[in-house]
Structure 1
Amino acid sequence: MRVQAFMFYGCAVFFLITDIVYWYWSKDWTGTTALALSIGLAGLIGFYIHFTVRRLERANAGPLYEDDPEGEIADAAGELGFFSPHSWWPLYVGLSAAAITLGLVFGWWLVIIGSVAILMSVIGMVFEYYRGHFAH
């Protein structure tokens, strides 16, 4: 995954050079701002991947299998984590966010209803697989 981090760092450098050239030739602030945000986003993703890889390498006591030039496909075998097979909670979160957005147009009462609904749906999504004392 280290390659992906440097790929995003390279994108940030490319956007930086492009932003400077674009600003110099056009003097357009909207495009310059959009390219500046692209620099920040590419750098942020690269930073996140870079430090996640460092944390995983420390946990595995060595380089990750995808960074090993002599690695085999079989090195990636095994469980990679838990992935939810299906969940209705993201739909409820999206509908609640849509209700809040429509509330900005039609009235504050819909914003309140949407806020309560999004609070309940986010709690439901977070505790969907909770198996403790308060499991639902």
Structure 2
Amino acid sequence: MKTESFVFAVVGIFGLVVGPIYGIVTDWQEPVGPVGLLLAAGLGFMVAFYFWLTGKRIGYRPDDNLDGNIDEAAGEYGDFTPHSWWPLWLGLTSSIVFLGLAVGWWVFAIGAFFGVFALVGWVFERYKGQHAM
């Protein structure tokens, strides 16, 4: 978690430095930019602190060790359904839903209708067929 905390600390430092500079350059006429950058800095520091604290509590992972080998991180990463087509249909229906937000509510309704079937199919695909639990 050392790398992740460093990345978010850099984000926090960037927002903390650039926020006031942006305000000075714009003569504080546009207040949303500096406030947004300072809030992003706060968010970056909060996430960096969380990763640092979690890394201290659970210990560092094998990928935090610069002299570590690849086989130290070996192991099971999860249980995934092989050759699943449902994420494709769910992605297509979600694109129709987001298109419906721009075009019209009737397109949104069509995408939501098909999205329910895609979501149910993806959730329950492990309960029948060759890869059933």
Q: Measure the CA separation in 2 of the matches of 1:117 and 1:54.
A: 45
CA contact (8 A) 2:81 2:126 kept: no
Which moved further from structure 2: 15-24 or 73-82? 73-82
Q: Show the counterpart of 2:64.
A: 67
Aligned Cα root-mean-square deviation (Å) = 3.6
Give the TM-score normalised by the residue count of structure 1: 0.62
Gap regions ≥5 residues in structure 2 = none
Which moved further from structure 2: 107-116 or 15-24? 107-116
Q: Measure the CA separation in 1 of the matches of 2:50 and 2:125.
A: 27
Could you tell me the percent identity over the aligned residues?
A: 38
Distance verdict in 2 for CA 1:63–1:31, change over 3 Å: closer
Using the TM superposition, give the Cα deviation of residue 9 of structure 1 relative to its aligned residue in structure 2, in angstroms: 1.9
CA contact (8 A) 2:15 2:38 kept: yes
Q: Secondary structure at the match of 2:78?
A: coil
Q: Secondary structure at the match of 1:81?
A: coil
Which moved further from structure 2: 3-12 or 34-43? 34-43
Task: Say which of 92, 95, 100 aligns to 1:98.
Answer: 95
Gap regions ≥5 residues in structure 1 = none
Q: Measure the CA separation in 2 of the matches of 1:63 and 1:105.
A: 45
Q: Deviations over 1:67-90 (max 9, x none)?
A: 346644442233343456554333
Q: How does 1:1-136 map to 2 (within 5 A)?
A: 1-26=1-26, 27=28, 28-29=30-31, 31-32=33-34, 35-36=37-38, 38-39=40-41, 42-43=44-45, 46=48, 49-50=51-52, 53=55, 57=58, 62-68=59-65, 71-82=68-79, 86-129=83-126
Q: Provide the aligned length of Structure 1 versus Structure 2.
A: 128
Distance verdict in 2 for CA 1:24–1:117, change over 3 Å: same
Give the TM-score normalised by the residue count of structure 2: 0.63
Using the TM superposition, give the Cα deviation of residue 30 of structure 1 relative to its aligned residue in structure 2, in angstroms: 5.3
Q: Measure the CA separation in 2 of the matches of 1:86 and 1:18.
A: 46
